[in-house]
Amino acid sequence: MSKPLLIVESPTKVKTLKKYLGNDYNVAATAGHIKDLPQKELGIDIENSFKAEYLNIKGKSKVIQELKSAAGDTDTIYLAPDPDREGEAIAFHTSEILKKKGRRFYRVLIHELTKKGITEALSHPTELNTGKYEAQQTRRTLDRLVGYQISPLLWRRVQNNLSAGRVQSVAVKIICDREREIRVFNPEEYWTITASLLAEIPPIFSAALTRQKGKKITIPNEQRASQIIRELEVSDFIVDKINIKTLQRSPLPPFITSKLQQEAINRLKFSAKKTMSVAQQLYEGIEIGTGGPEGLITYMRTDSTRISAEAANEALTLIREKMGADYAMEKPRFFKNKNKAQDAHEAVRPTSVFNTPGKVQQYLTKDQFRLYDLIWKRFVASQMTPAVIDQKTISIAAGDYTFTVGGNTVQFQGFMALYSEIDSKSEGKEEQDAGSDGKSGENGEQGGGSDETSGENGEQGLGSDETSGENGDHSSNIQGSEVDEKTGIKEKQVLPELKEGMKLDAKNIIPTQHFTKPPPRFSEATLVRELEENGIGRPSTYATILSTIRDKGYVDLVKKYFVPNELGFIVNDLLVSSFPEILDAAFTADMENNLDNIESGTRKSLEVLNDFYAPFKERLTHATENMLSVKGVGIPTDLKCPLCTRQLNIKIGKNGHFIACTGYPDCSFSSNYTRDEKGIIGVNETKVDTNPVKDCDKCGKPMVRKEGRYGEFIACTGYPECKHTESLYGAEPVKPTDIKCPESGCTGLIVGKKSRRGKDFYGCERYPECEFASWDKPVNKACPECGSSYIVEKETKKDGLILTCPAKGCNYKE
From 133, 190, 283, 299, active-site residue: 299
Q: What do you get for the CA distance between the two ends of the chain, in Å? A: 37
> Of the candidates 791, 789, 781, 794, which has an alpha carbon nearest to the alpha carbon of residue 812?
791
Nearest-10 crossing angle of helices 85-98, 61-71: 70
Q: By C-alpha distance, which of 144, 175, 116 is closest to 54? A: 144
Cβ-based neighbours of 164, under 8 Å, separated by 6 or more: 146, 147, 150, 151, 154, 571, 575, 582
412: buried, middle or exposed (CB in 10 Å: 19+, 13-18, 0-12)? middle
Task: Count how many Cα atoms sit within 13 Å of the Cα of residue 156 in the half-sphere of its side chain.
Answer: 11
CB atoms within 10 A of CB 800: 8
Among residues 144, 91, 375, 387, the alpha carbon closest in space to that of 260 is found at 375
CA nearest neighbour of 541 among 226, 31, 143, 27: 143
> CB neighbours (10 Å) of residue 148?
17
Listing DSSP states for 399-455 in one string gives: TTEEEEEEEEEEEE-GGGGTS-HHHHTHHHHHHHHTT--TTTT----------TT-S
Q: How far apart are CA 701 and CA 724, in angstroms?
A: 10
Instruction: Summarize the chain as % helix, strand, coil (round to 5).
Output: 30, 25, 45
Residue type, 596: D
Gap between the Cα atoms of 522 and 265, Å rounded: 12
299 catalytically annotated: yes
Q: How many angstroms separate the Cα of 480 from the Cα of each of 211, 467, 504?
A: 19, 21, 17
Strand partners for 397: 238, 402
Question: What is the tally of helices (H) and strands (E) in the chain?
Answer: 20, 37
Q: Return the ∠ at Cα 23 (arms to 18 and 28), rounded to 5°.
A: 50
Q: Are 711 and 212 in contact (CB under 8 A)?
A: no
Residues in the chain: 814
Q: For residue 238, list its beta bridge partners.
A: 397, 503
CA 107 – CA 641 distance, rounded (Å):
67
3-state secondary structure of 153: helix
Pairing of strands 189-198, 237-249: unpaired
* Cα–Cα dist 144/52, whole Å: 10
The enclosing H or E element of 27 equals strand 26-29
The residue type at 85: R
Q: Omega into 665 within 30° of 0, i.e. cis?
A: yes
**CB neighbour burial string for 54-77, b if at least 16 within 10 angstroms, e if fewer:** beebebbebbbebbeebbeebebb
- CB atoms closer than 10 angstroms to residue 87: 27
Reference 534, options 548, 545, 520; nearest CA is 545
| CA-derived radius of gyration, the chain | 32
Cβ burial of 102 (10 Å; 0-12, 13-18, 19+) is: exposed
Residue positions annotated with a catalytic role: 299
